[in-house]
Amino acid sequence: MILYLALLLLAQPPATGSVTGEVRLEATASSQGQRGARNRYGSGTARSGTPAADTPVLVWVELDGSQRNAAMDESPVMDQRDLQFSPRLIAVREGQAVRFRNSDPVYHNVFSLSDVKKFNIGRRPRGEIVEVTFGRAGVVQVFCDIHASMNAVIRVLPASTVRHTVVTPGGRFRLDDLPAGTYRLKAFAPGRAEWSGSIRVEAGRPADAGAITLTSD
């Protein structure tokens, strides 16, 4: 009887589905070596000269309509290591915090002048961790006022976000464990216009979004 029930459960189709696809970046002048220098500490997009092939791309799905996702992930860590932010792109939901850590044997600072969240944690020695909460959706650029070449981006996602992942251009993404329904599928990369579309998820099968191309902003 127990074996029969186990086989019966295994035969049942999964109650959730997934979204798959590929992300691409449209070629720009900056990706070909002509780096922009606008908005060094401003609220626009920082041009870091990162090769397009290494540019992180954030992909996520939101609940359709005004629903809110009650789940809250653990606060991610944005490290400062080898005079760089790591990772260079991080995502949190509205109301979630980011933990900033200095792992270098030198002093670092983290600050932002972005409209979504202005903050400055001051200069911190190795080993210190400071937590900052982000309450409004949008793009937050962060810098170090000691090392001018250091910059990163925090994308604060709406509370309706269900799943997210970060991939590199040309790579495929997969967002699993999505209850059947209609979602907003979105993609973002620093220096690119945000992409948005609608996708229908059915239980037991992947919904293929195809190739998503992000253009310059």
Domains present along the chain, CATH in parentheses: 14-40+51-69+161-217 (2.60.40.10), 72-159 (2.60.40.420)
Using a cut of 0.85, tell me whether the model's pTM lies above it: no
* 83-131 pLDDT per residue, tens: 999 999 999 999 999 999 999 999 999 999 999 999 999 999 999 999 9
Determine how β-strand 118-124 pairs with β-strand 84-86: unpaired
Least confident of 6-10, 25-29, 119-123: 6-10
Decide if pLDDT at 66 tops 90: no
Give the pLDDT score at 36: 39
Give the pLDDT score at 171: 85
SS3 annotation, 73-133? CCCCEEEEECCEEECCEEEEECCEEEEEEECCCCCEEEEEECCCCEEEEEEECCCCEEEEE
Name the DSSP letter for residue 27: -
Cis bond before residue 87 (omega within 30° of 0):
yes
Give the pLDDT score at 71: 55
The residue with greater pLDDT, 180 or 42, is: 180
31 token code pair: 């990706």
* 136-188 pLDDT per residue, tens: 999 999 999 999 999 999 999 999 999 999 998 888 999 999 999 999 999 99
Give the pLDDT score at 4: 45
41 token code pair: 């500490």
